[in-house]
Amino acid sequence: MGEHTRRSFLATTAAFAAMATVGRAGQAGQPAGATSATGLEKRKFGATDMVVTVLGFGGAEIGFRQTDQATVEKLLNSSLDAGLNVVDTAECYAGSEEAIGKAVAHRRKDYYLFTKVGHMERGEAGWTAASIEKSINRSLERLKTDYVDLIHLHSCDKATLEKGECIDALEKAKKAGKTRYIGYSGDTVHALYAVETGRFDSLQTSVSFLDQECIELTLPKAKARNMGVVAKRPIANAVWRFDAKPEDGYVVEYWNRLQKLGYDFAKGDSAKSSGPDGAAGTALRFTLAQPGVCVAIVGTTNPDRWKQNAELLRAGGPLPAEKIEAIRAKWKEAAEPGWVGQV
């Protein structure tokens, strides 16, 4: 089932060398290890020439929640001014591509633009070469640009990947200059297969304290292949905010997992803390500590959120090893066999 249907409820030297080959990427790239205006770390995005600020922007929320255009403009422009350089969206995020195009196409060189394909037509039809080509052309039009930096296949299953047609179509788009890089967005055994094909520059997958399957299943393999890794759902939809079991099916699984895992940082006063050791700060710092993760694309409709989360990362710094180990240990002790990566 597609993400859009489930959610219908509603961002060194070697890097300088890489920058020399940036070409169309323009000014978005800076050396890995450098810091953004907000003091955030930048990481090299796998074997690509991109150097990304560790905190990115996830564009699903603005689409599904039908955020008004003035808010999107304020949110994106102020975040870009503060150091954001990765904007992630998809063809099926209900108006997200259009809103992003209208808001920031005029400063296209300030950010890396990632979108996704595969849900333009329903079912298998979405994964044909014709549908993928049509979808990419439509995304470029909506985003008001003649190229994106990265296109991910939007969570097709392993059987679809095995047929090869959708990967061939993405490679064709890359050769045509419509996208500079190609990736797979998805989870569990499907993501594992995608990584092992060796045909993708990037993996976008769910990584958080409530989504840890990838930490041993796919992330080490993606890292070994020098793929860029985008952490989606990086703070588990901030599910600690709910006082009672949420009705929204998209977050219920995380709610159930949190009840069993009972992490202290996501309970009581800690959950309410807006400091770096509170729930959001710990969650984000945990995700960014996982193998190969380059950027965490937090979704938001709040114009101040990117800067707030950037401040959590700046103030907290890397999550100490003992905290990371404690979060991992509890997961290993309590995770059920069905706790696979959530699409």
Ligand X SMILES: NC(=O)c1ccc[n+]([C@@H]2O[C@H](COP(=O)([O-])OP(=O)(O)OC[C@H]3O[C@@H](n4cnc5c(N)ncnc54)[C@H](OP(=O)(O)O)[C@@H]3O)[C@@H](O)[C@H]2O)c1
The answer to whether 179 and 147 are in contact (CB under 8 A) is yes
Question: Should residue 78 be labelled a site residue for ligand X when binding is judged by CB under 6 A?
Answer: no
Return the residue of 160, 179, 218, 237 that touches ligand X, per CB under 6 A. 237
Question: Should residue 119 be labelled a site residue for ligand X when binding is judged by CB under 6 A?
Answer: no
Question: Should residue 235 be labelled a site residue for ligand X when binding is judged by CB under 6 A?
Answer: yes
Binding piece for ligand X, criterion CB under 6 A, among 73-81, 130-138, 213-221, 229-237: 229-237
Quick note: the x/- pattern for ligand X over 280-299, rule CB under 6 A, is x----------------xxx
Report the alpha-carbon distance of residue 287 to residue 54 in Å, rounded. 10
Instruction: Encode burial over 86-116: b for 16+ CB neighbours within 10 A, e otherwise.
Output: bbbbbbbbbbbbbbbbbbbeeebebbbbbbb
Backbone angles phi and psi of 17, in degrees to 5: -60, -40
> CB of residue 20 vs ligand X: minimum separation in angstroms?
30
The answer for 23, left when phi > 0, alpha when psi is -120 to 50, beta otherwise, is left
Question: Should residue 302 be labelled a site residue for ligand X when binding is judged by CB under 6 A?
Answer: yes
Return the residue of 43, 108, 190, 232 that touches ligand X, per CB under 6 A. 232
Residue closest to 140 by CA, chosen among 94, 108, 185: 108
Question: Helix or strand or coil: residue 157?
Answer: coil
Which C-beta is closer to ligand X: that of 204 or that of 218? 204
Report the alpha-carbon distance of residue 263 to residue 271 in Å, rounded. 10
Question: Should residue 88 be labelled a site residue for ligand X when binding is judged by CB under 6 A?
Answer: yes
Report the alpha-carbon distance of residue 203 to residue 218 in Å, rounded. 9
User: Which tokens belong to 69?
Assistant: 């255009």
Which C-beta is closer to ligand X: that of 178 or that of 254? 254
Return the residue of 102, 138, 174, 305 that touches ligand X, per CB under 6 A. 305
Binding piece for ligand X, criterion CB under 6 A, among 100-108, 162-170, 219-227, 235-243: 235-243
Residues at the contact surface with ligand X, assessed by CB under 6 A? 3, 58-61, 88, 116, 154-155, 185, 204, 232-238, 280, 297-302, 305, 308-309, 343
